[in-house]
Structure formats: structure tokens, C-alpha cells
């Protein structure tokens, strides 16, 4: 369906600005809390909040797939003005649903070819081939989409969005059915790399905050139909109560600068320390600042700088806080410069080392424990 109302034609070029602008957007879900949002033309933003809060509804409204009133504009193009909306296919966006919504009766290759054919910014054949390989889709290309597993269908759907390479890319829990280790270790690093090469405005919706903290530094929040943000990740951590001690273990987000990458080993600098990561999926250039995750269960503490060891990483830290956990463990809040992270050790280790808040120690972790690179 194409909208060519005279009134709408006048509105099409009326919004100024570089990015996405949402003003007073109302659906049947949020009649009391009209949505306002301003995002730059490029950047990756997380999107989370309690289930049923309205995240999918907002994404559908942005895509013109849900009845709404108000104003939506991207760049100087109006997508929605009052009750009139530009047809979805005329908005420079892509939306991936939770259930992947691939085109039925077609193969995986057909679905991808279609996205490529209608892309406003088509990818090179080399890049498409490399992405297909990285997403583990090569053996599935000839398969009808009806025969794909949930996780396979989701990987194809994300790939289809990358092939279409729209200016605004909306993802709605796109990898929830894919095995988490593959997501953190392989797919998210490749996605980060993709958007570094092909900048776009990306909204990544997920209930997995680790996905969000690997991809973004700011996050939108939707709760009971009320939209807030973009918020800093620390605020979202608080709202999700992620520092709750009930969590078995937790991942902390750290940032470091790339020194070099060779033969699968990535060398980073964090403060005065040099860190090493192996099993690296992404491609990085020297000088680039990148985020990675460190699991609280993967870190050990030493009183003195250890000698030569097979554990490659040794980071000087300040012990900020010791929090008792259940099961004979304690959680240590550590700081490397301004960056805080958590380490879980046994209560026995804490007593033997006589750890004290405010003192300085050395955190040790293996090159394989830096996740998301
Ligand atoms: N087409 C629709 N018409 C009316 N109500 C709807 C429609 N789609 C969703 N809802 C309701 O609107 C509310 C918000 O749903 P929505 O799917 O947007 O939430 P969400 O934040 O994406 O949730 P989740 O995190 O569980 O995916 C829910 O109560 C849902 O039942």
C-alpha cells in the first residue's frame, strides 16, 4: 500500500534534523504516555525493560506496522504525521521480529537474495559470502525456510537485515533462540564489526543485558508503556537489579584500546597493563577502543605480581568492596582506574589472602576469558 495523500506529501520533507525524531507518538498501548525520542543518525542503542512493557509495539509503530498518531521523522523525511504514515517499504529501515518472519515457500538463499536486491546500500559479494560463513548459514542455503530450527531461522533473519543494510535497523530479540556462547563469542563481535564498517542507527532489543553491554553504551527503557532514554548502561544495570547478589555469577563490561591483532591473538592496553585475548572473532585496528565482558567466575586475585605464568593477563586493581555471597563465596568489587568489575572467589581464599577493602592487588585471568571479542 502506498500513501500519496496530498496532506502527507506536504509533510514528507518538513522535519529537519539528522537522526530519528519521535514526538508525541501514541498507540492504543500508551494513550496516557505519548512517546518522545531523539536518536542520532548513527549509533547502536540497546532497548530493554520488563516483558509486556511495549518494546515491540514501539518498533512496529516506527516501522509503520502498528496504528499510531504523532510525528516520526528520520533525517529530513517524515515517516508519520498525525494519522498519516509513509508506507513501510518507503522508510529506510528494516525490522526483525522475534519470530524471524522469513518469506515462506522460499529457500534461505532466496530470502537473502531478495534483501540484497532491494538494498539501498548493497554489500559486496565478498562481504556477503563472508557473513554467510560467519553466521554458519553456508550448509543451509538451499533449505526451505520452513525446515529451519528456531535458532537457524533467527540467524538467517539477522543476516537478511545486514544484507538489506538499511539506515535504521530495528532488532526485536533477534538472537534469543541462538546458543548464547555462539552469540557472545562469534555473532556479536561480527555485528559490531559490521556496523563499524557500515554505520547505521541500530536499536537492539533484548532481555539479555550482556548482549546490550557488548553492542551499546546507551539503552532505551520501556516499562508499562512509558519510554525513557537513552540511558547510560549503569542506570539500566540498576533498574534490572543486575548487581543483585542472587545472580550466580555476572559479567562485567570493560573497555580497552587495541594495540595489535595477529594470528588470533588480540593485544590490548588497559591503563598501564597489557591484556591478551585469544579465540577472537572480530577484526580490530590499532588504536580502536573496544568493550569486552569478563565473567566474575573467571578471575583470580594475587597479593603480588605473579612471575611467568600460563595465565596471560594480570591487571593491577583496587579492591573497593567485599560482599558475602551464599555457598561459601564472596563477590569482590574491583576497580582498574575508573572501570569497575566483579570477581567471585571462595571465602577461604579471602581469609588466606587477608583481603581488605581499599588495598591494591593483581587480578589474573586467562586470554580465553575475555568474551565478546
Ligand atoms: N496488536 C496488539 N493489539 C493490542 N495489544 C497488543 C498488541 N500487541 C501487543 N499487545 C499488548 O501490548 C502490550 C505490550 O506488548 P509488547 O509486545 O509491545 O511488549 P514487549 O515489551 O515487546 O514485551 P516482551 O519483552 O515480552 O517481548 C502487551 O500487554 C501485549 O499483550
What is the Cα–Cα distance from 167 to 73, expressed in whole angstroms?
A: 13
What is the Cα–Cα distance from 102 to 104, expressed in whole angstroms?
A: 6
Residue nearest to atom 25 of ligand 1 (CA): 51
What is the Cα–Cα distance from 227 to 32, expressed in whole angstroms?
A: 12
Residue nearest to atom 30 of ligand 1 (CA): 52
Q: Measured from the CA of 222, which atom of ligand 1 is nearest?
A: 21
* CA angle at 213 for the pair 373 and 138, rounded to the nearest 5°: 50
The ipTM is 0.93
What is the Cα–Cα distance from 91 to 113, expressed in whole angstroms?
A: 20
Q: What is the pLDDT of residue 83?
A: 93
Task: Compute, in angstroms, the gap from residue 47 CA to the centroid of ligand 1.
Answer: 15
Q: To which CATH superfamily is domain 6-239 assigned?
A: P-loop containing nucleotide triphosphate hydrolases (3.40.50.300)
Neighbouring C-beta atoms of residue 189, cutoff 10 Å: 24
Per-position pLDDT tens, the chain of length 373: 333 334 344 334 444 458 999 999 999 999 999 999 999 999 999 999 999 999 999 999 999 999 999 999 999 999 999 999 999 999 999 999 877 688 888 999 999 999 999 999 999 999 999 999 999 999 999 999 999 999 999 999 999 999 999 999 999 999 999 998 889 888 999 999 999 999 999 999 999 999 999 999 999 999 999 999 899 998 998 898 766 655 666 889 999 999 999 888 999 999 999 999 998 888 899 999 999 999 999 999 999 988 888 999 999 999 999 999 888 899 999 999 999 999 999 999 999 999 999 999 999 999 999 999 9
Q: What is the pLDDT of residue 243?
A: 61
CA distances (Å), 249 to each of 37, 236, 244, 331, 335, in order? Answer: 34, 18, 10, 9, 18
Q: What is the pLDDT of residue 263?
A: 82
Q: What is the pLDDT of residue 331?
A: 93
What is the Cα–Cα distance from 222 to 54, expressed in whole angstroms?
A: 6
Which pTM does this prediction carry? Answer: 0.85
Residue nearest to atom 17 of ligand 1 (CA): 56
What is the Cα–Cα distance from 152 to 137, expressed in whole angstroms?
A: 8
Beta 273-277 vs 265-270: how paired, if at all? Answer: antiparallel
What is the Cα–Cα distance from 115 to 102, expressed in whole angstroms?
A: 11
Cβ pair 120, 166 in contact under 8 A? yes
Domain boundaries, the chain: 6-239, 251-371
CA distances (Å), 84 to each of 9, 20, 75, 91, in order? Answer: 10, 17, 18, 13
Instruction: Give the number of residues written for the chain.
Output: 373
Q: What is the pLDDT of residue 103?
A: 87
Asked if the domains at 6-239 and 251-371 fall in one CATH topology, the answer is no
Q: What is the pLDDT of residue 14?
A: 40
Q: Measured from the CA of 60, which atom of ligand 1 is nearest?
A: 18
Q: Residues lining ligand 1, CB < 6 A?
A: 28-29, 51-57, 222
Task: Compute, in angstroms, the gap from residue 81 CA to the centroid of ligand 1.
Answer: 23
Q: What is the pLDDT of residue 104?
A: 86
Task: Compute, in angstroms, the gap from residue 225 CA to the centroid of ligand 1.
Answer: 9
For the chain, the distance separating the N- and C-terminal CA atoms, rounded to the nearest angstrom, is: 43
Q: At what angle do helices 188-197 and 125-134 cross, to 10 degrees?
A: 160
CATH number of 251-371, picked from 2.40.50.100, 3.40.50.10860, 3.40.50.280, 3.20.140.10 = 2.40.50.100
Task: Compute, in angstroms, the gap from residue 42 CA to the centroid of ligand 1.
Answer: 27
DSSP secondary structure code for residue 103 in this structure: P
Residue nearest to atom 29 of ligand 1 (CA): 52
Ligand 1: residue of 53, 57, 61 to mutate (most ligand atoms within 8 A of CB) is: 57
Residue 147 grid coordinates: 525446515
Residue nearest to atom 9 of ligand 1 (CA): 57
CA distances (Å), 159 to each of 60, 89, 113, 169, 187, in order? Answer: 20, 18, 11, 12, 10
Cβ pair 354, 303 in contact under 8 A? no
Amino acid at each position: 500500500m502506498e500513501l500519496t495523500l496530498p496532506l502527507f506529501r506536504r509533510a514528507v520533507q518538513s522535519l529537519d534534523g539528522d537522526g530519528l525524531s519521535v514526538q508525541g507518538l501514541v498507540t492504543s498501548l500508551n494513550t496516557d504516555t505519548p512517546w518522545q525520542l531523539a536518536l542520532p543518525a548513527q549509533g547502536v542503542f540497546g532497548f530493554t525493560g520488563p516483558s509486556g512493557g511495549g518494546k515491540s509495539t514501539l518498533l512496529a509503530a516506527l516501522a509503520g506496522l502498528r496504528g499510531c498518531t504523532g510525528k516520526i521523522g528520520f533525517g529530513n523525511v517524515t515517516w508519520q504525521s498525525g494519522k498519516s504514515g509513509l508506507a513501510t517499504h518507503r522508510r529506510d529501515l528494516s525490522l526483525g521480529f522475534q519470530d524471524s518472519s522469513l518469506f515462506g515457500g522460499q529457500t534461505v538463499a532466496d530470502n537473502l537474495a531478495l534483501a540484497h536486491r532491494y538494498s539501498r546500500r548493497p554489500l559486496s559479494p565478498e562481504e556477503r559470502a563472508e557473513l554467510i560463513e560467519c553466521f554458519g548459514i553456508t550448509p543451509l542455503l538451499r533449505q526451505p525456510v520452513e525446515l529451519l530450527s528456531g535458532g537457524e531461522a533467527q540467524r538467517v533473519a539477522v543476516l537478511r537485515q545486514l544484507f538489506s543494510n538499511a539506515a535504521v535497523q530495528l532488532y526485536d530479540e533477534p538472537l534469543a533462540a541462538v546458543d548464547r556462547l555462539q552469540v557472545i563469542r562469534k555473532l556479536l563481535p561480527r555485528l559490531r564489526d559490521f556496523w563499524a564498517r557500515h554505520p547505521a542507527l541500530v536499536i537492539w532489543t533484548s532481555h539479555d543485558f550482556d548482549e546490550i553491554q557488548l553492542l551499546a553504551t546507551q539503552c532505551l527503557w520501556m516499562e508499562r508503556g512509558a519510554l525513557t532514554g537513552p540511558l547510560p548502561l549503569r542506570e539500566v544495570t540498576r533498574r534490572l537489579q543486575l548487581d543483585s547478589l542472587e545472580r550466580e555469577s555476572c559479567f562485567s563490561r570493560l573497555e580497552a584500546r587495541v594495540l595489535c591483532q595477529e594470528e588470533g591473538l588480540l593485544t590490548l592496553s588497559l591503563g598501564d597493563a597489557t591484556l591478551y585475548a585469544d579465540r577472537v572473532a572480530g577484526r580490530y585496528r590499532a588504536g580502536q577502543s573496544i568493550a569486552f565482558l569478563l565473567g566474575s567466575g573467571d578471575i583470580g586475585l594475587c597479593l603480588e605480581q605473579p612471575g611467568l605464568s600460563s595465565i596471560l593477563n594480570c591487571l593491577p586493581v583496587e579492591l573497593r568492596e567485599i560482599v558475602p555471597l551464599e555457598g561459601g563465596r564472596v563477590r569482590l568489587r574491583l576497580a582498574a582506574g575508573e572501570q569497575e568489575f566483579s570477581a567471585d572467589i571462595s571465602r577461604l581464599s579471602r581469609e588466606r589472602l587477608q583481603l581488605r577493602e581499599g588495598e591494591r592487588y593483581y587480578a589474573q585471568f586467562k586470554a580465553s576469558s575475555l568474551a565478546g571479542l
